[in-house]
């Protein structure tokens, strides 16, 4: 029996995949657990429609993320920190601080886990960090650290 998977099924296939499975497996496991539907012309049409909708939504999200990435290019976040006598910074500027500064000063909301570079901001001067705003869209932000007077 040909079925269209509605969800990923371990050792069977991925979502939206069309498979040939045993009749009993489909009737007794896949259909009752809502993991698959029978392959018909109508179900194929619906699957194609949902794929197209998802693709359009993805393109919209990418477009919005690109606008934010263009805004991030011009932003320089400034932080002050205490330094020791030999010029080393006490502590680091955390991703949480960077995200909070972006939100409070520039109204840009970014998840702190989306920072691509795991480099520490623990030195005076400029540091460039990359942020993945959406799949395939990466923005760059500049962080400036100066010595506290």
Q: At residue 119, does pLDDT exceed 90?
A: no
Domain boundaries of the chain, sorted by first residue: 2-60, 65-147
Tokens of 70: 């263009």
How wide is the angle at C-alpha 101 spanned by C-alphas 122 and 87, nearest 5°?
Answer: 20
65-147 in CATH: which number? 3.10.430.100
For the stretch 63-111, pLDDT in tens is 999 999 999 898 999 999 888 888 888 888 888 899 999 999 988 888 8
CATH superfamily, region 2-60: Ribosomal protein L9, N-terminal domain (3.40.5.10)
């Amino acid at each position: 029996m040909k079925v269209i998977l509605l969800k990923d099924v371990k050792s069977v296939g991925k979502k939206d995949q069309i498979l040939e499975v045993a009749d009993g497996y489909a009737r007794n496991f896949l259909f009752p657990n809502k993991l698959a539907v029978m392959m018909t012309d109508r179900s194929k049409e619906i699957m194609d429609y949902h794929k197209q909708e998802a693709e359009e939504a993805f393109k919209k999200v990418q477009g919005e993320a690109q606008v934010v990435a263009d805004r991030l290019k011009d932003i320089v976040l400034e932080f002050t920190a205490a330094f020791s006598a030999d010029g080393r910074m006490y502590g680091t500027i955390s991703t949480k601080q960077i995200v909070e500064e972006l939100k409070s000063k520039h109204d840009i909301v970014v998840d702190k886990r989306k920072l691509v570079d795991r480099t520490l901001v623990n030195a005076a001067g400029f540091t460039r960090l990359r942020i993945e705003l959406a799949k395939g869209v990466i923005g760059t932000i500049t962080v400036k650290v100066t010595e506290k007077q």
